[in-house]
């Protein structure tokens, strides 16, 4: 499980490096095509920030976020981290998150349905059965986001933090899972201001290290020279940076002869353990959503 940004987000991915792509999306200065990464010159989706009202994350693969202006930014990922929902005319390799828009009435309808489940009165950490789907849901009530975290068979050492769900809570989780799988079950056509699925282009990326920060002096140039600029990344193991700066890191790694260990629209990673460093590190970056501003 990887932790990126403010939300614990668990997805494990396999290697899938693509050698070619369309001229409009290929990073021409690089020998590797990075899946889902915006090509240089492509403008980010605007506005680039937003107030989160609803965040639904289900079964380790579906992310469904609704913002105060009605934008819905979402995706259903494969177990490898590739998009399953692709806008018309786009390529799967180049697709990351997608977006639609609800009407103000549609947003309120969805909020009322979620609050009516009774699940979002207070923050909850629920111990689900081993065959249940992992869930991480957030719904705004006034000025606060109420969080419901459901974990299948959590580690016994965590039992003091988790409670078993009531039958009503189990039913509420099942209804949310059904909604995420098919939003039309709750939302009529009139709830949508723009139902057309379009690409979401991130303005920022969440960049992080697992297993420790590397010895910069041992990295091949120019990787170390570029990486050392990011002090917060060294101090906290995580930093949110502009897509342009994230691109600069990718370019530096490739120029240093480092190949990505994972290359998917949801996550691009480099396994620094292969460089025989004294402290193995795993570097990864994922697109940041509108409400993610800091780690």
Walk me through the domains of the chain, giving residue ranges and CATH numbers: 1-44+203-295 (no CATH), 46-199 (3.30.1560)
Token pair for 215: 């010895």
Instruction: Measure the CA–CA gap between 4 and 290, rounded to whole angstroms.
Output: 14
C-alpha to C-alpha distance for 38 and 133, rounded to whole angstroms:
32
Query: Comparing 159 with 197, which gets the higher pLDDT?
Result: 197
pLDDT computed for residue 3 by the predictor: 41
- Give the predicted TM-score (pTM) of the model: 0.84
Using DSSP bridges, classify how beta strands 135-141 and 52-58 pair: parallel, antiparallel or unpaired. Answer: antiparallel
Q: Rounded to the nearest 5°, which phi and psi values hold at 151?
A: -120, 125
**pLDDT confidence of residue 159:** 65
The region of weakest confidence among 26-30, 168-172, 218-222, 247-251 is: 26-30
For 244-284, the three-class secondary structure string (H helix, E strand, C coil) is: HHHHHHHHHHHHCCCCCCEECCCCEEEEHHHHCCCCCCEEE
Question: How would you label 95-128 residue by residue, b for 16+ Cβ within 10 Å and e otherwise?
Answer: bbbbbbbbeeebbebbbeebeebebbeeebebbb
First to last CA, the chain: 16
Euclidean distance between CA atoms 134 and 285, whole angstroms: 22
pLDDT in tens, 160-214: 788 999 999 999 999 999 999 999 889 999 999 999 999 999 999 999 998 788 8
What is the DSSP secondary structure assignment for residue 48, as one 8-state letter?
A: S
């Amino acid at each position: 499980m990887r932790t990126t940004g403010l939300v614990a987000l668990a997805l494990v991915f396999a290697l899938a490096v693509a050698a070619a792509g369309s001229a409009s999306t290929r990073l021409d200065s690089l020998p590797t095509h990075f899946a889902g990464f915006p090509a240089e010159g492509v403008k980010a989706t605007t506005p680039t920030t937003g107030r989160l009202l609803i965040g639904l994350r289900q079964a380790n693969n579906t992310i469904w976020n609704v913002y105060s202006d009605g934008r819905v930014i979402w995706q259903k990922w494969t177990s490898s981290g590739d998009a399953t929902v692709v806008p018309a005319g786009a390529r799967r390799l180049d697709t990351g998150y997608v977006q639609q828009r609800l009407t103000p009435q549609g947003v309120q309808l969805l909020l009322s349905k979620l609050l009516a489940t009774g699940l979002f009165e207070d923050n909850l950490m629920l111990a689900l059965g081993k065959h249940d789907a992992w869930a991480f849901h957030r719904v705004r009530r006034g000025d606060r986001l109420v969080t419901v975290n459901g974990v299948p068979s959590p580690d016994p050492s965590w039992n003091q933090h988790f409670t078993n769900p009531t039958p009503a809570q189990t039913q509420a989780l099942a209804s949310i899972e059904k909604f995420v799988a098919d939003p039309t079950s709750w939302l009529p056509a009139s709830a949508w201001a723009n139902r057309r699925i379009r690409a979401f282009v991130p303005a920022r990326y969440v960049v992080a290290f697992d297993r420790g920060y590397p010895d910069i002096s041992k990295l091949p140039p120019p990787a170390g020279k570029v990486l050392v600029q990011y002090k917060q990344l060294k101090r906290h193991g995580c930093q949110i940076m502009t897509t342009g700066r994230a691109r600069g890191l990718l370019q530096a790694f490739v120029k240093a002869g480092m190949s990505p260990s994972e290359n998917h629209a949801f996550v691009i990673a480099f396994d620094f353990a292969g460089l025989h460093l004294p402290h193995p590190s795993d570097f990864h970056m994922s697109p940041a959503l509108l409400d993610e501003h800091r780690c």
